[in-house]
């Protein structure tokens, strides 16, 4: 094996998986067991509705067209990957180039749509993907030649040291992850305790693991613990109230005596 062959495989595997999973995401609609993905149908419907084209046929045709192009992309990358496995370099280059060209065209279409629909963030996202695709092609072509890049897999003393150090760090990390998980997993379901910060106003500092079930448990527990109080109003603290990345969600419950 050479650095060239390994890197080329890494590039092709990444893009084959990228387009393969994009196609899977289009085939599986909505949120299912074992798959969330992104609801592109809802996104397209909203985009077209914003133009005044409320008939779902527009969004359906557009999404079908995009999915078709993605499927073609996937097939092109897969063919390039299979050609690489067979060691036919000229064929690999040809198929990878076709795949890159097809992907670049797709991202160009996305970028046009982003401008029409006024979504500048998606325009940046698609522009970056477009650039990474072209740069991937250049990187693919710039991988070192076979003669200059043989990779030795033979064990060396440095190799043994890397394996031992990596193994120790992996064990340490895994142990820490399991400990942290055991210590905090209960927060995914247990109610949060409120703190009265102003007379009749209680603050709840939700942990990162909390979701809507924790919210329900918290409100129910609070009402059970304070039978003399009536919840008047619940205020979700906007992100500006959070301590940057340390606070997940702040909730304020305004109460009055029954």
Partner 1 sequence: MSKRLSTSVLIRYAILAYWTLFWLFNLIDKVVGGAHFLWVGRDRFAQFQKYFDSVGLDSPHVANAALAFAGALEAFAFVCFATALGAEWKGHHGSARRWSFFGTLLTLGTFTFFSIGDHWFGDRFELLEHTLFWFISLASWLIFIRMKPGGNGTIAASSTTPASAPEMRFGMTGAIAAILVAVTATAIFRHNASDFPLRTAAVEAEAVGDHLYKVAFPFLGGSTVFENTLAEFKTAHPEEAIQHIYTVPNPLRLKKADALVFYIITEDKP
Residue 50 engages partner 1 in binding (rule: CB under 8 A): no
Residue 132 engages partner 1 in binding (rule: CB under 8 A): yes
Round to whole Å and give the CA distance between 226 and 202: 11
Binders of partner 1 in range 2-31 (CB under 8 A): 3, 6-7, 10-11, 13-14, 17-18, 21-22, 24-25, 31
**Which of 33, 52, 157, 224 touches partner 1 (CB under 8 A)?**
33
Residue 219 C-beta: closest distance to partner 1, Å: 17
Q: Which residue bears the tokens 């500092």?
A: 205
Which lies closer to partner 1 via its Cβ, residue 53 or residue 134?
A: 134
Q: Which residue bears the tokens 């809507």?
A: 212
Binders of partner 1 in range 81-120 (CB under 8 A): none
Residue 60 engages partner 1 in binding (rule: CB under 8 A): no
Which lies closer to partner 1 via its Cβ, residue 22 or residue 83?
A: 22
Q: Which residue bears the tokens 């060691």?
A: 87
Token digits of residue 166: 């990596």
> Which region among 64-72, 112-120, 219-227, 239-247 touches partner 1 (by CB under 8 A)?
239-247
Residue 99 C-beta: closest distance to partner 1, Å: 16
Round to whole Å and give the CA distance between 175 and 178: 5
Residue 1 engages partner 1 in binding (rule: CB under 8 A): no
Binders of partner 1 in range 192-231 (CB under 8 A): 197-199, 201, 203, 207-209, 211
Binders of partner 1 in range 133-172 (CB under 8 A): 135-136, 139, 142-144, 151-152, 158, 161-162, 165-166, 169-170, 172
Token digits of residue 65: 């067209």
Round to whole Å and give the CA distance between 164 and 233: 57
Q: Rg of the chain's alpha carbons, rounded to an integer?
A: 27
DSSP string for 103-158: HHHHHHHHHHHHHHHT-HHHHHHHHHHHHHHHHHHHHHHHSPPGGG-B---S--HH
Residue 173 C-beta: closest distance to partner 1, Å: 4
Residues 6+ apart with CB under 8 A from 248: 205, 206, 207, 208, 210, 242
């Amino acid at each position: 094996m050479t650095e060239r062959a390994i890197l080329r495989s890494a590039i092709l595997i990444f893009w084959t998986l990228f387009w393969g999973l994009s196609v899977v995401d289009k085939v599986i609609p909505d949120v299912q067991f074992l798959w969330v993905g992104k609801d592109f149908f809802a996104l397209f419907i909203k985009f077209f509705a914003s133009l005044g084209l409320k008939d779902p046929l527009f969004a359906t045709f557009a999404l079908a067209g995009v999915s078709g192009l993605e499927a073609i992309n996937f097939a092109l990358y897969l063919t390039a990957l299979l050609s690489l496995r067979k060691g036919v370099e000229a064929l690999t280059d040809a198929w990878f180039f076709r795949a890159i060209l097809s992907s670049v065209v797709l991202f160009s279409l996305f970028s046009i749509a982003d401008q029409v629909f006024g979504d500048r963030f998606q325009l940046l996202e698609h522009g970056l993907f477009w650039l990474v695709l072209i740069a991937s092609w250049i990187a693919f072509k710039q991988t070192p030649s076979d003669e200059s890049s043989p990779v030795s897999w033979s064990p060396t003393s440095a190799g043994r040291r890397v394996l031992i150090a990596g193994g120790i760090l992996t064990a340490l990390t895994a142990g820490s992850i399991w400990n942290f998980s055991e210590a905090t997993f209960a927060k995914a379901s247990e109610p949060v305790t409120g703190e009265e910060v102003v007379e009749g106003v209680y603050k709840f500092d939700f942990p990162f693991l909390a979701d809507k079930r924790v919210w329900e448990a918290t409100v129910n527990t609070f009402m059970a613990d304070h039978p003399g109080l009536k919840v008047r109003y619940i205020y979700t603290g906007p992100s500006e109230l959070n301590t940057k990345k340390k606070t997940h969600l702040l909730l304020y419950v305004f109460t009055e005596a029954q």
